[in-house]
Amino acid sequence: MSSLQGKVAVVTGASSGIGAAIVRDLSIAGASIVLTGRRRERLEALAASLDHPSAILDADIAASDTPERLLSLAQERFGRVDVLVNNAGFIAAGSIETIDLDAVAQMIRVNFEAVVRASYVFGRAFKAQRSGAIVNVSSIGAYLISQRMGAYGALKHALEAFTASLRIELAGTGVKVGTIAPGSTRTEIFQRMQPPAATDPLASGTPLEPEDIAAAVRFMIEQPDRANIARLALFSATDAY
């Protein structure tokens, strides 16, 4: 029996891609899920397909009250919460001449500020109950320096540092904290970044699938109480960074 049987997990950015795959995998493992994202129709369709009970909050993850609303929903619906997976995020990239600065500002709010706020809100609850796990979805971009994606990589690097600090602060409290850093994954995010002429931009090579990330997240969460995976980088088998 999975150690997630009977647990309650909150997953952000759950309407598609990696987030949806994480939701499905944790539900198969026996967890009840609180799903959040902006596209309610997708959340409802996903919730209807799950093996175990779920609850939906369609909300902007960057709104300052969203983490508290998620925590309250989990506690009201299921009586507790055990896992937070901060997955919501997007990429704003471009050259110094073409980068959309408003998109960069929103990326800062979603990819970093929202994760920090949710981690603190749920971290306090987990510390009080002496158990819980926080997994922040990072990127191999946190470890790479590349042109056109400086702001994205910098945010993921900052997320790695913040998560490590939170893990150290919560050591010995029963709360696990860590990051998972995927490489290129077949999701809407990367498809939108490709030129219009590209029919399947990730068809060549062996890109990761969302299910690969979900399996790794579950592996991190299911470690025994004595073990905390602080950082897991998941590369495609053909990546040579």
Assess contact for 125 and 173: CB atoms under 8 A.
no
First to last CA, the chain: 37
Residues 6+ apart with CB under 8 A from 100: 92, 94
Assess contact for 80 and 131: CB atoms under 8 A.
no
201 CB-side CA count, 13 A: 15
Q: Compute the average pLDDT of residues 142-150.
A: 92
Which residues are known catalytic residues?
Answer: 152
Domain boundaries, given as residue ranges, for the chain: 8-234
Express each pLDDT in 37-90 by its tens digit. Answer: 999 999 999 999 998 999 999 999 999 999 999 999 999 999 999 999 999 999
pTM value is 0.92
Does residue 199 surpass a pLDDT of 90? no
Give 190's pLDDT tier (boundaries 50, 70, 90): low
In angstroms, how far apart are the furthest CA atoms of the chain?
54
- CA–CA separation, 123 vs 173, rounded Å? 10
| CATH entry 3.40.50.720 includes domain 8-234 | yes
